[in-house]
Structure 1
Amino acid sequence: MTVNMKFPIPSVVFTTLLLSSHAAVAAAPPAEAFFGEPEISKAVLSPKGNYVAYLYTDAQRRQMVQVRDTRNLKSATIAAVSKSEDAPIYSIHWVNEDRLTFTVKDLRVEFEGNYEEIAVNRDGSNVTHLISGNWYHRQEKTGSHMKDRVLTAAYAYYGPTHDGSDDIVVEKHIWNNIDRQPDTSRLYRLNTRTRTLSDLLPGTQPGRVQAWLLDTDDTPRIAYSKDKGRCILSYREKDGKDWTEISNAECYRDTVFAPEFFDSRNTLYVTANYKGHKALYTFDIAKRQRAADPLLVLEGFDFNGSPHIDYAARKLLGLDFLSDARSTVWFDPAMKAAQQKIDALVPGRSNRISCSADCRDPVALLVESSSDRQPTEYLVYTPATNAIVSLGGRHPAIKRADMGQREFHRIAARDGLKIPLYVTTPPGKAEGPLPVVMLVHGGPWVRGSSWEWDDEAQFLASRGYLVLQPEFRGSRGFGVAHFKAGWQQWGRTMQDDLADTAQWAIKQGLADPRRIAIMGASYGGYATLMGLIRNPELFRCGIDLVGVTDIDLMFTSARGDFSEHSLRYDMRTLIGDPDKDADVFRQNSPVALAGQLTQPLLIAHGAEDRRVPIEHAKRLRSALSGNNKQLEWVVYADEGHGLRHENNRIDFYKRVDAFLQGACK
């Protein structure tokens, strides 16, 4: 059976898009309402559906894991409380119906890692420290068996087991003494009460493993490795010891298929090309061949999703996926009916359902609900009574009626390539062309946005700005050709797509051509700088957060965290060769072109950034010192590549607000 999902492209409706910037500004919620720690987040349903756990942040900014009985939601039990603001809880995982674990990140250390893992009963008893976050002691001492004591920071939570035991799966990262990133990893079972560690793999494993795929019995079956520019897939039978190579291809260029998941009947599902886009197929491992027809095709989009599996019934129930918005296709009639009932109770939203491990007769379903104007809210649905109850949401101070609408479009670039685009409009009445902020996503080889709630876009829209978020060439999720069109195009056709988006908005009568700002983080920061340089006639001012300023420095900085493999292979494919393309790098690096950057500019960077070290920002600041008198500069001493701390996020967006109203006016 092939499910072909089509998504109509909405046309521009001028009566809703030509809005006033004045009515929106007066009632704009403060930055804290958008960028403060969420009140309720990370909700997860227990394996049998009897309980839901979630992260709650109180008025004193304390985080705690709360648990509610889905059969009686009136009272909450506190299972855990975070130690400090510098150690927030990042995720919550059920182990079984009585026990859960949660992950804590030490924000005093910027780079990835330093994750604590702690287990606790749902009533707060029997706390067990499983993994230490002391990064400086990540390696084991020689001869240690690590059987019954706290694991080092080399280990991290990987996933649950599905057998009702007290075990979880953990991943041990192994370094090569050259890179800051791990070279390979290995999987283990860890008992959350006794801390007993047991190997999940018999014998040896493939080298340089970057990712694993487990079947529904929690057995590693696929290992994904990268070596010398090649992506290698190795497979083992459920009870086998030997690994067999089933694919060995040049990364990015020759990859034929990508494993996605096993269902409970041991069928492997993969993504592979279908008319230029990735579709979902079943795969015959023995024949190393995908099925003739895809299971799921998303017209105009690559498949990007995850399965719903009933572990008790050993059945694939449905698939979550992302097209222009998040959605679900259900193969199971009962779950399809439940989705329809929930959508009727909560209309106009994307309602993502979580089912327990046994979905045949669920006690309750957890619903993660959001829309373009509604921040994520968590609801519990009881099938027996068709009742739905809200647990609360991420940003309860924000009212749907005060937010703007988001629309999805595809517009034509100058060479004819179709550029997906999200447009967020301010609330209010139509009065004429609007001031614009173009948000450029980071990556850049990722999907940038979706139709659902976007903190940043709605914050800007609430201030009266039309927000444009183009999925420029090189972005993923929109077909192979769209992705490859961005290879080695930093500062060139990738930049043209941004200019073409601005021109489209002007021609549609949506954008005031004298009031267009450009803004982004990481690659988006780079594109902001290049937008000001390449198209000063379009972009009035810019905001650069942790942006790249020198392409060559990405390859040469001693503080950077890219692995040798990435520098030698991946980045040369996607960005270019620092030796052969040295002139091209200089011609498209903001530092080398700083004399042309004269518009108002806000630069913000983290002092501890490893992905884009602060020397990028410092070099640009130095280069601009004699040319740009409209530079605003802020360094966050305790931040890395992004804004993890609540106070810094709020401070940054208050600066953005003031900058746009002042220097960019």
Structure 2
Amino acid sequence: MPFVEGARLSPDGLWIAGQFAVNGSQRIVVISPFDTGSLNQAALPDDVEVSSMQWVGNDNLLIRITAIRPFDVGDRAYISRVVALNRKTDKFTKLMWDLGGQNAADVLWVPKDGSTKILLGGQNSIYMGEDFWPAVYSVDVTNGRHTTEANPRSEVLDWVADTSGVVRAAISNDRTKGTRTLLYRAKKGRTFDRKDRRAYDDLEVPVLIRADENKMLVLRPGTDGRDALVEIDGDSGAVLQTLYQAEPGVDIEGVRYDDSGNEILGVYLGGNATDPLHWLDPALGELQKAFEKSLNGRRARIVSLSADRQRMLVRVDKPDEAGRLYYFDAADGSLRLFANLNSATNGTRAGRMEKVHYKARDGLEIEAIMTTPSGREAKNLPVVILPHGGPWAQDTMDWDYWAQFIASRGYLVIQPNFRGSTGYGEAFLKKGEGQLGLAMQDDVNDALAWAAKQGLADAKRACVVGASYGGYVAMWGAARDPDMWRCSISIAGVANLRREVNDFGDLLFGKRYREHWQKMTPDFPAVSPINHIDAIKVPMLLIHGKKDLTVDHAQSQSMFNKMKAAGKNVEFVSLPKADHYFTREPDRLALLSAIEAFLAKHNPVD
């Protein structure tokens, strides 16, 4: 498993925080890059997941966590909270945990001057009413003391603060009309005025509001179809300057903030972009290129920066290696190795990764990532089709331990970025609407047809393997197209779409959540694997962790029970301590061992 994930530098650049692998489990660790033998570590309960971490000054670390908690009788809900960890005392401070709502982890602003008061948005009730709508609090991370900065406002779920910590904007939701409204004020103390109202997905939400200025930054599609990051006047909405405009065919998918969240350093790009990140400061772009030039063609990515940008964490990797994390100090120009991201893979011969393209049956071009097993000719190989989760996600030319593990056992691995995947623009994303289990599934099948036609794969020796939404694809493939596959492996997959949507759909964002999925398919039962058990002919392996907070363990348990009762060939590996991402080393090893054994049994390489 990775040695460290989510590493973040303190503002002075002298401390590194992250989730480190310690004795087979992930722990929150704060460590000096100069004395790696001295570290502070903290354990969180097994039934919570860490969403993100952020420094407040050089001594306190904000940790956003998510868990499932019961309420009333027989019901449960996702909740999110924030704790602050002091690196000197190892003391946790719970922030606004007395609130009774689902979400109390919306960190709106963190100071850059080393002070300890942040802005935090949170609900005080899980039920519709005045306290359902979040208020904004100024909270001292050292002791949890707080004052109210903005009272709850009906229909407002999102607040936006400027770079000095003043609440300047709010997003109001009209649940009956499916619209959102931007409410804005130029200064503290003024009333919020309505600035814009649009369909939910079309509203321009500020990605940054400048302090003491009537200016905000938004992402806006240009009149010529080219996305842009622009600065606009807060009152009129007129463009004051264009900070970046993408080339034709390139999409801006988000912004890269500095570590405090108070400055935009770059934009993330998709579509036909040659580089996934464009730095607004040319000096950062040149520095990244200099890193790559000195590292034998490996990719270098600046993942965290000190406040003065003189110290950095730099990830260095290639598609076929897990990579390393380096510490850069501009004072002497040194680039020192801090950690191997996965030392267990050092020295192993990884499979060769490459991008491939094929036409779906309706002519749509699909990109996929193909991994060829080391030492084997890409000719008539047994194949595993490995669709990604999400489905609003994508597979990229990055190290993927699942794909590499399967390829190391002799299988060609193809990861199709089917329609509805991110990274290829809004039009490609929307092509997934109404097509879940239909054309989206066809795209997965067409990857196999393409590989067989090219002579790369033996279509008669194919299995479909996936996790989360990919697990759904694996189960649905076995039910919808049973003659295509020799086996199916679903990891933490969704068998019953209606149950997945209804599990948490009656609470916060429930209507929005349901509507989002209903755009993907109007008929949940028709494309749910659990309703088509009789059609399944191939052996199926189900793997699921009981600590999964994203997809209920009962999804796989119910699928297993129904298949077993119907006399189907099914196995179930239930892991009592595994979460959705298999972050514990014993769970990850159990997962990979089960996959290996099942593939060898039902789709042997030789």
Match of 1:40 in 2: 4
Matched, 1:100 2:76: no
- CA shift in 2, pair 1:557/1:339, >3 Å: closer
Distance of 2:240 and 2:381 partners within structure 1? 50
- CA shift in 2, pair 1:60/1:546, >3 Å: closer
- CA shift in 2, pair 1:402/1:605, >3 Å: same
> SS of the residue aligned with 2:571?
strand
- CA shift in 2, pair 1:499/1:90, >3 Å: closer
Matched, 1:472 2:434: no
1:272-316: CA deviations, max 9, x gaps?
Answer: 33566754343343223557978231554532232355999x975
Alignment of 1:152-171 (within 5 A): 154=104, 160-171=110-121
Match of 2:42 among 49, 74, 81: 81
**Alpha-carbon contact 1:439-1:467 (below 8 Å) kept:** yes
Match of 2:21 among 48, 53, 57: 57
Matched, 1:231 2:177: no
Cα shift at 1:503: 1.1
- CA shift in 2, pair 1:602/1:153, >3 Å: same
- Between 1 and 2, higher relative CO (CA 8 Å, sep ≥ 6) is seen in 1
**Alpha-carbon contact 2:206-2:216 (below 8 Å) kept:** yes
Distance of 2:527 and 2:25 partners within structure 1? 43
Match of 2:596 in 1: 657
Match of 2:404 in 1: 458
Cα shift at 1:652: 2.0
Matched, 1:328 2:292: no
Matched, 1:287 2:236: yes
The TM-score normalised by the length of structure 1 is 0.78
Distance of 2:103 and 2:116 partners within structure 1? 21
Cα shift at 1:660: 0.8
**Alpha-carbon contact 1:368-1:377 (below 8 Å) kept:** yes
Cα shift at 1:391: 0.8
Distance of 1:437 and 1:662 partners within structure 2? 14
Match of 1:342 in 2: 291
> SS of the residue aligned with 1:259?
coil
- CA shift in 2, pair 1:249/1:104, >3 Å: closer
1:296-338: CA deviations, max 9, x gaps?
Answer: 31554532232355999x9755445456786432343432332
The TM-score normalised by the length of structure 2 is 0.85
Match of 2:32 in 1: 68
- CA shift in 2, pair 1:54/1:77, >3 Å: farther
**Alpha-carbon contact 1:130-1:195 (below 8 Å) kept:** yes
Match of 2:148 among 199, 212, 231: 199
**Alpha-carbon contact 1:257-1:273 (below 8 Å) kept:** no
Match of 1:302 in 2: 251
1:168-205: CA deviations, max 9, x gaps?
Answer: 333323444279xx95433322212343212333x554
Distance of 1:352 and 1:388 partners within structure 2? 12
Match of 2:73 in 1: none
Match of 2:219 in 1: 271
> SS of the residue aligned with 2:321?
coil
- CA shift in 2, pair 1:244/1:469, >3 Å: farther
Distance of 1:433 and 1:263 partners within structure 2? 58
Match of 2:512 among 566, 572, 588: 566
Alignment of 1:120-159 (within 5 A): 120-121=86-87, 124-125=88-89, 127-131=91-95, 139=100, 154=104
Cα shift at 1:105: 6.5
Deviates more, 1:424-433 or 1:503-512: 424-433
Distance of 1:235 and 1:659 partners within structure 2? 57
Alignment of 1:465-614 (within 5 A): 465-554=411-500, 563-566=509-512, 569-576=515-522, 581=523, 585-607=524-546, 612-614=551-553
Higher strand fraction (1 or 2): 2
Distance of 2:508 and 2:44 partners within structure 1? 32
Distance of 1:484 and 1:369 partners within structure 2? 34
Cα shift at 1:49: 2.8
Q: Which amino acid aligns with 1:647?
A: P
Distance of 1:511 and 1:138 partners within structure 2? 56
**Alpha-carbon contact 1:41-1:54 (below 8 Å) kept:** yes
1:507-530: CA deviations, max 9, x gaps?
Answer: 222212122111222322222122
Cα shift at 1:662: 0.9
1:397-449: CA deviations, max 9, x gaps?
Answer: 212652123223342211122222222222224262222211222222x1222
**Alpha-carbon contact 1:521-1:545 (below 8 Å) kept:** yes
Distance of 2:90 and 2:191 partners within structure 1? 39
Cα shift at 1:392: 0.2
Matched, 1:248 2:197: yes
Distance of 2:236 and 2:103 partners within structure 1? 40
1:112-146: CA deviations, max 9, x gaps?
Answer: 4365613314xx2373523387xxx7539xxxxxx
The count of residues paired between Structure 1 and Structure 2 equals: 592
Distance of 1:281 and 1:408 partners within structure 2? 33
Cα shift at 1:96: 1.2
Structure 2 unmatched ranges of 5 or more: 71-75
Cα shift at 1:655: 0.7
Structure 1 unmatched ranges of 5 or more: 1-35, 141-151
**Alpha-carbon contact 2:69-2:79 (below 8 Å) kept:** no
Q: Which amino acid aligns with 2:123?
A: H
**Alpha-carbon contact 2:93-2:143 (below 8 Å) kept:** no
> SS of the residue aligned with 2:530?
coil
Q: Which amino acid aligns with 2:590?
A: D
- CA shift in 2, pair 1:658/1:406, >3 Å: same
Cα shift at 1:206: 5.6
Distance of 1:552 and 1:58 partners within structure 2? 38
Cα shift at 1:83: 6.0
Cα shift at 1:465: 2.0
Q: Which amino acid aligns with 2:10?
A: S
Alignment of 1:363-512 (within 5 A): 364-399=311-346, 402-430=349-377, 432-444=379-391, 446-512=392-458
Q: Which amino acid aligns with 1:340?
A: K
**Alpha-carbon contact 2:64-2:105 (below 8 Å) kept:** no
Distance of 2:277 and 2:374 partners within structure 1? 29
Matched, 1:119 2:65: no
Distance of 2:111 and 2:549 partners within structure 1? 34
